[in-house]
């Protein structure tokens, strides 16, 4: 069964750092572009970042650029999101998601994890 499972969400103070992980199973990670999408409590969905299938290309939303870093380790079947200089507005459920079409980027998301909650609060 194809599955994504996020971990690493915690309560952290403003200005703090956190690293999220997404464990992949049931498919070959190195064939797919991967994404992070977040959802603030009671709000809609916001795309955060993407990394292409071999890790050569990364993109970020303006709201997290220069603070967050996406990475992947295909040998460990894992995706990561390093989050620095956290703000209260970064409080959200963070989902990892798979791009639907292998070896392309800029697509829709056909597989999602259950999410991991990041709370930024003093």
Partner 1 sequence: QMTQSPSTLSASVGDRVTITCRASQSITTSLAWYQQKPGKAPHVLIYKASNLEGGVPSRFSGSGSGTEFTLTISSLQPDDSATFYCQQYDTYPWTFGQGTKVEIK
The count of other CB atoms within 10 Å of the CB of residue 6 is 22
Least gap, CB of 94 to partner 1 (angstroms): 11
Task: Give per-residue burial for 17-55: e unless 16+ CB within 10 Å, then b.
Answer: ebebbbbbeebebeebbbbbbbeeeeeeeeebbbbbbee
Q: Contact residues for partner 1 (CB under 8 A)?
A: 35, 44-47, 50, 59, 61-62, 95, 100, 106-110, 112-115
Looking at the Cβ atoms of 62 and 75, the one nearer to partner 1 is: 62
Looking at the Cβ atoms of 16 and 63, the one nearer to partner 1 is: 63
Distance of alpha carbon 108 from alpha carbon 110, whole angstroms: 7
Least gap, CB of 55 to partner 1 (angstroms): 18
Kindly state the tokens that stand for 112: 């999602």
Least gap, CB of 27 to partner 1 (angstroms): 15
Looking at the Cβ atoms of 15 and 114, the one nearer to partner 1 is: 114
């Amino acid at each position: 069964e194809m599955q994504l499972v996020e971990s690493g969400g915690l309560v952290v103070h403003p200005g703090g750092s956190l690293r999220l992980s997404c464990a992949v199973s049931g498919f070959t990670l190195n064939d797919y572009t991967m994404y992070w999408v977040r959802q603030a409590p009671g709000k809609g969905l916001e795309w955060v970042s993407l990394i292409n299938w071999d890790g050569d290309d990364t993109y970020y939303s303006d709201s997290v650029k220069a603070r967050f870093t996406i990475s992947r380790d295909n040998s460990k079947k894992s995706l990561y999101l390093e989050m620095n200089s956290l703000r209260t507005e970064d409080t959200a459920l963070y989902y990892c998601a798979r791009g639907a079409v292998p070896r392309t980027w800029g697509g829709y998301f056909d597989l999602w994890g259950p999410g991991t909650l990041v709370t930024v609060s003093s």
